[in-house]
Chains A and B, each alone.
Chain A
Amino acid sequence: MRPDISNKLLDDNPDAILATAPDGKIIYWNPGAQSVFGYSSEEAAGRTLEDLIIPAELVEEERKNLKEALNTDFVLYESVRRRKDGALIYVISSTKIVRNSKSDVDYILFNKKDVTHLKALRDAKLIEAKFRDLLESTPDAIIIANLTGRIVLSNNQTHRVFGYERRELLGKPVEMLLPERFRKSHVGHRAHFFSQPRARSMGAGLELYGLRKDGKEFPVEISLSPLETDEGALVMSAIRDITERKKAESKFKSLLESAPDAIVIINKEGHIVLVNSQVERIFGYTRDELLGHDVEILVPGQYRGKHPQHRSGFFAEPRTRSMGAGLQLKGLRKDGTEFPVEISLSPLETEEGTLAMAAIRDISERKNVEKEIENLNLGLESRNAELAAANKELESFTYSVAHDLRAPLRHIQAFSNMLKQELGDGLAPSAQENLQEITDSAHEMGVMIDDLLNLAGIGRRELNLEVTNLSTLVHEVLKDFQPAPAGRNIEWKIGDLPHIECDAGLMKHVLSNLFSNAVKYTRPRNPAIIEVDQLTEHGHPVIYVRDNGVGFSMKHADKLFGAFQRLHRREDFEGTGVGLATVQRIIQKHGGRVWVNAELDRGATFFFRLAIPELTENK
């Protein structure tokens, strides 16, 4: 045997070989010990194992082991030790008491083997048998790790989510699933968990990320539960890939931001959990000044007292509705000013429970506009009242004027007549003529007043519309023209006329006027032919009255419908010239149109149609 190999064997040994003095102080520490525990022999020299590598909770156990070793001179056991970096490892420890010739303890020799990985694999097999089926059925990715942070079990979801195969995970430190930057602190957290094992979510309030095999990171939510097994304390982590949820959340957040209204989300306790920038704008607070505070800071003082009640009421029966229907709601700005608002509420179901979302609209502008409209309306109403009063005045004025004007007219005429009767035949022809002119003038004036009154009266009248049989109306009006005046031969040609919706009384007036004109201007004709019929224009009926009378040149036709406009000499054809103006007024009141087509010496045709569509044709 090589004599120099014994030291080398110690140096090359991968296991930790160390010795302590009877008082526990370390007197030998091989390089293997350094690689297993992390301490160099300089750091270890003179220290105790309790200081260095024994976790506090295992000190009792180790002392027991030593006691036993002193009895039996040798013990072999498995335990947990702590490395310099804080990591826990499983070791198989063989402890031998070495005595001197006097049987006193000379030194204690330890041989410690790091079996962490081995144990993990072994545990895995055992755990697997127990938990596999259960864990395959859950939708979450489940990892079971042991005290030393090695993965002893992973389910298929884990493989899918992280992209590894089982054998790539088994026995490996769980930190391989974390992004580089979280690994160091995670080791410490692991240890802390085992010192106070309880089911909880991991990293509450923090943004956690997992690392896939392909190097991609993704946001996760992790919950931890301790598992006590024969194989020792384990921890089960359920890992949920919350990428989708994070996307939805950020979508939701950006939706909130883009909403035109201010959105405030509160929880059951009335604390503000979310606001969008519109809230900052209209209330004057920054986000931070609002989050976590009572929502009541946005409510004006006089309403604040009742508000918590209403809140509870909403949560008791959460449903989308507008808030404070019928009430004038106000919001309170940071600067203390109040402004009118409209609020609609909707419940939001989240994993943290029901939240209430309030969409708040600042309606100051709208209120101003409403007030203005109200004022305008009031103004309009009073204007209307003024106008109505003015109209009424005009009406009574017109009638009394007409009445008063007629009296002197009557008198002129009456006394002229009386004069004629008194003087009788004693009057020279020219004197008689003069007297007649007086009478005729008075008469004409009377007719003018009547016509004018009519024209004015028609302007003011309300249309009394009903479906009217024009044929019937025409025949009624014609009665006034029967029998024909002495010496006249008039042929009336009445066609098939439709039913139209009109004011019958006014329409009679129109027909009467048009017939009157036709009769008048056909005086030189024998026979006078007057046609009353209809034609269709653009699907609507147009009524016309055509005569074969003296007609006129279309050159002057535009004047025809003006009041007092005449195209013939007074001595040829009587008339005040108001008739057609009245006809036009009436037709216009119906929303229709009247027009004429004439030729000098050939006659004239007057057309009219009404705007209101007819209901039935002819029959």
Chain B
Amino acid sequence: MDNLNEILLVEDDPRDVRLTVHVIQTAYPKKKISVVRDGQEALDFIFCREAYSSRSLAQPPKIVLLDLKLPKVDGIQVLREMKARSETRAIPVVVLTSSREEKDMVESYRLGVNSYIQKPVDFESFQETIKTLGLYWLSVNQPPPEKAFVED
């Protein structure tokens, strides 16, 4: 069954939201993109709480594009909580950040992030990167089956 909530974009900067969404939709017009604007909202979305209680844990997003510098709860914490729970561990998370700090990369990988991308400064390169990302995660990569999201 084709997942409605295919891409979750976690990004606080409105312009970056606009850019990223535009690029993704240009490259993959059929895919649905959900956007959350801070870490708390991201966790609510993933764990189907609060405003997102109508969502189901059995239907996770196909991929989460996660910015690290977020208000309320930061990206690393979101990653940590996602990878800590058996119901959500299998969700592929791609960190998409402008941060070049080594410690962010180290911490992310230690927490089990699936991929780490530094946002290219150059717009055209950014477009290329998103296209490549999409191609890989949405087509090439085999998504985790339903059973991967079962609670321990």
Contact = CB atoms under 8 A, between A and B. Distances in A.
B147 interface: no
B16 A411 contact: yes
Nearest to A399: B101
B121 A406 contact: yes
B121 A407 contact: no
Interface string A401-418: 001001101110111111
A407 to B, nearest CB: 6
Contacts of A446: 121
A526 to B, nearest CB: 30
A406 B119 CA distance: 11
A446 B22 CA distance: 23
B136 interface: no
Contacts of A418: 19, 22, 123
Interface residues of B, number: 15
B13 interface: yes
B69 interface: yes
Interface in A391-440: 399, 403, 406-407, 409-411, 413-418
A413 B69 contact: no
Contact of B123 (A399, A403, A407, A417): A417
A406 B98 CA distance: 8
B28 interface: no
Given A403-B69, A418-B22, A410 B121 contact: yes
Contacts of B121: 406, 409-410, 413, 446
Contacts of A413: 121-123
Of the listed residues B22, B69, B122, the one surrounded by the most CB atoms of chain A closer than 10 A to its CB is B122
A501 B122 CA distance: 37
Interface in B12-60: 13, 15-16, 19, 22
Contacts of B123: 410, 413-414, 416-418
A414 B13 contact: no
A413 B99 CA distance: 18
B126 interface: yes
Nearest to A417: B123
B19 A414 contact: yes
Contacts of B126: 414
A407 B98 contact: yes
Contacts of B19: 411, 414-415, 418
A403 B16 contact: no
Interface in B51-102: 69, 98-99, 101
Contacts of B119: 410
A403 B22 contact: no
B124 A403 contact: no
Contacts of A415: 15, 19
Contacts of B13: 407
Interface in A543-572: none
A407 B69 CA distance: 12
A416 B123 CA distance: 9
Interface string A269-281: 0000000000000
B99 A403 contact: yes
Interface in B106-152: 119, 121-124, 126
B126 to A, nearest CB: 7
A415 B126 CA distance: 12
Contacts of A416: 123
Contacts of B99: 403
Contacts of A417: 123-124
Interface string A439-468: 000010010000000000000000000000
Contacts of A406: 98, 121
B40 to A, nearest CB: 21
A5 to B, nearest CB: 145
29 contacts: A399-B101, A403-B98, A403-B99, A406-B98, A406-B121, A407-B13, A407-B15, A407-B98, A409-B121, A410-B16, A410-B98, A410-B119, A410-B121, A410-B123, A413-B121, A413-B122, A413-B123, A414-B15, A414-B19, A414-B123, A414-B126, A415-B15, A415-B19, A416-B123, A417-B124, A418-B19, A418-B22, A418-B123, A446-B121
Interface of A: 399, 403, 406-407, 409-411, 413-418, 443, 446
- Which 3 A-B residue pairs are closest in the complex by CB-CB distance? A417-B123, A414-B123, A411-B15
Given A406-B121, A410-B98, 17 more contacts: A399-B101, A403-B69, A406-B98, A407-B98, A410-B119, A410-B121, A410-B123, A411-B15, A411-B19, A413-B121, A413-B122, A413-B123, A414-B126, A415-B15, A415-B19, A418-B19, A443-B122
